[in-house]
Amino acid sequence: MSLAKRIIPCLDVDRGRVVKGVKFVGIRDAGDPVEIARRYDQQGADELVFLDITASSDQRDTMIHIVEQIAAQVFIPFTVGGGIRSVADIRRMLNAGADKVAINTAAIQHPELVREAAARFGSQCIVLAIDAKRVHCANEDEQARWEVFTHGGRKNTGIDVVQWANQMTGQDGAGEILLTSMDRDGTRDGFDLALTRAVSEAVSVPVIASGGVGNLDHLADGVTLGKADAVLAASIFHFCEYTVAQAKQHMAERGIEIRN
């Protein structure tokens, strides 16, 4: 009897379609978000994450409409991120049926937004999204460190990832962290396990590992070596290489508690 580690398919949505970029460029079309959400739900996904990567704000209503449709058909928790800038944006997403919202760029620009939103809606529905990139040290003996990037990975803030994660979570902050390695995202080389572990061991809230999954062992490694509470993947599921059910079976074989 214990809490299951979660497997979370992630859907990047651009103008109403699911896409998946490789290192944030080279986009392939993968389908209708509502249809894909239903497929993952049937396969036993524990949660879903939708990241709205639509550049123009006049397309935002498209995402609201999609969230409403998903909420009426899928009865597992789901998170929506991308372009969330204010308490009003958060309220709109939650009212449309999202369970949690992920905040990245706006948290850097207005750190008080996270606390305000947590106080208003509860920590449980505020996810701090962090895009992390490894800083290459001149001295090899120096401990690895990572910095926070924003604007879909285009801007370096110079902020230390572990320190940022710590500062923005806890009783009156975000209730969960979605941690993406920009170095690994789209590479299929596996999670940045050192990054995942450093953050997970530094914070009291659950951490979702993201970026780099290419096979099922990567998912299991994220939990056993990276100490993640949940593992997120996109392309291995979208292009039907593996089903969520296969991922779960593999994790169970590796001795990880999962939900059947």
Partner 1 sequence: MNSVLDFTATSHYYGQNMTGVAVIDYGMGNLRSVAKALEHVAGASTIEVTACAERIMQADRIVFPGQGAARDCMAELQRLGLDKVVREVVRTKPFLGICMGLQILLDCSEENDGVPGLGIFPGRVQRFPAQMRDSHTNDILKIPHMGWNQVRQTTAHPLWHGIAQDSRFYFVHSYYVNPADPMQTAATAQYGVDFVCAMAHNNVFAVQFHPEKSHDAGLVLLANFMRWNGKV
Nearer to partner 1, 43 or 166 (CB): 43
Given 12, 41, 46, 89, the catalytic residue: 12
Rounded to 5°, angle at Cα 191 from 175 and 143: 85
Nearer to partner 1, 97 or 186 (CB): 97
Nearer to partner 1, 69 or 157 (CB): 69
CB of 179 to partner 1, least distance (A): 13
Nearer to partner 1, 182 or 258 (CB): 258
Q: Which residues contact partner 1 (rule: CB under 8 A)? A: 1-6, 41-44, 46, 71-72, 75-77, 94-99, 119-125, 171, 175-176, 201, 203-207, 227, 229-230, 259-260
CB of 172 to partner 1, least distance (A): 9
Residue 131 annotated among the catalytic residues of the structure: yes
Distance CA 220, CA 216 (A): 7
Given 14, 46, 131, 221, the catalytic residue: 131
CB of 123 to partner 1, least distance (A): 7
The stretches of 178-242 forming alpha helices (DSSP H) are 193-202, 216-224, 235-238
What are the C-alpha distances in Å from 242 to residues 76, 154, 211, 213?
20, 31, 17, 12
CB of 197 to partner 1, least distance (A): 11
3-state secondary structure 153-187: CCEEEEEEHHHHHHHHECCCCECEEEEEECCCCCC
What is the greatest pairwise CA distance in the chain?
54
Provide the annotated active-site residues: 12, 131
